[in-house]
Chain A
Amino acid sequence: RKEVEQDPGPFNVPEGATVAFNCTYSNSASQSFFWYRQDCRKEPKLLMSVYSSGNEDGRFTAQLNRASQYISLLIRDSKLSDSATYLCVVNAGYNFNKFYFGSGTKLNVKP
């Protein structure tokens, strides 16, 4: 079983749509959670950290459910520029020494 699992997509949505991605993780000792964005052939870049209480950054909302061991990302009012692959990243292990990556969910926002 993979440490972090994501639906690879692609999710094809029109501009303005709301889209949600989920990610599940297997290690209940996981401590930190992130969503990274990766454009084609580029390096992953942090989109947002995910906090237990949930957090929002503009059009993006992240939620964490520790009991069910899943993380979600909601994108409202999708823009063409949101087209990318979204990576779910979980940090487990003693002293934050283990990062686990999902294989990514591809989002295509169409005009």
Chain B
Amino acid sequence: DADVTQTPRNRITKTGKRIMLECSQTKGHDRMYWYRQDPGLGLRLIYYSFDVKDINKGEISDGYSVSRQAQAKFSLSLESAIPNQTALYFCATSDPGRTGELFFGEGSRLTVL
């Protein structure tokens, strides 16, 4: 089983719908991240959390919100999805004690029509 699990893996939705992407991890890391990846743009940080009470905006947080329900769970919500949020979304964890390597989930492909 994957150490970082994302659900759903694929989702097609319509403009204006609310969508939640969920992430859970068994690595015991405090730090969790949500990234989106678009062709030619690399990965861009949406939100990150260093513990349950710590939530921070990344470079592209507009239109997104997050919830850190527990150390192991970090969910990303699109309150009202729009087509330019069509992308591949990755959750990741890191342990700063190990030079900060990132561990990624398998990704959630979201299409907004």
Report yes or no: A43 in contact with B45, Cβ–Cβ below 8 A: no
Report yes or no: A44 in contact with B105, Cβ–Cβ below 8 A: no
Report A-chain residues with C-beta under 8 Å of the C-beta of B109.
41
* Chain A min CB distance to B11 (Å): 15
User: Main SS of the interface on chain B?
Assistant: strand
Interface of B toward A, CB cutoff 8 Å: 31, 33, 40-45, 48, 50, 88, 90, 94, 96, 99-102, 104-107, 109
* Chain B min CB distance to A100 (Å): 9
Asked if A8 lies at the interface with its beta carbon under 8 angstroms from chain B, I say: yes
**A32-B99 Cα distance, complex, nearest whole Å:** 7
CB-contact partner of B40 in A89, A101, A103, under 8 A:
A103
- Interface stretch (choices A62-70, A73-81, A90-98): A90-98
CB-contact partner of B99 in A36, A44, A96, under 8 A:
A96
Report A-chain residues with C-beta under 8 Å of the C-beta of B105.
43
Asked if A17 lies at the interface with its beta carbon under 8 angstroms from chain B, I say: no
Known contacts A99-B45, A103-B40, A103-B42: A43-B107 contact under CB 8 Å: yes
Report yes or no: A44 in contact with B106, Cβ–Cβ below 8 A: no
Report B-chain residues with C-beta under 8 Å of the C-beta of A87.
42-43
Asked if A49 lies at the interface with its beta carbon under 8 angstroms from chain B, I say: yes
Report yes or no: B96 in contact with A95, Cβ–Cβ below 8 A: yes
* Chain B min CB distance to A73 (Å): 16
**A96-B30 Cα distance, complex, nearest whole Å:** 13
Report B-chain residues with C-beta under 8 Å of the C-beta of A102.
42
CB-contact partner of B100 in A41, A91, A101, under 8 A:
A91
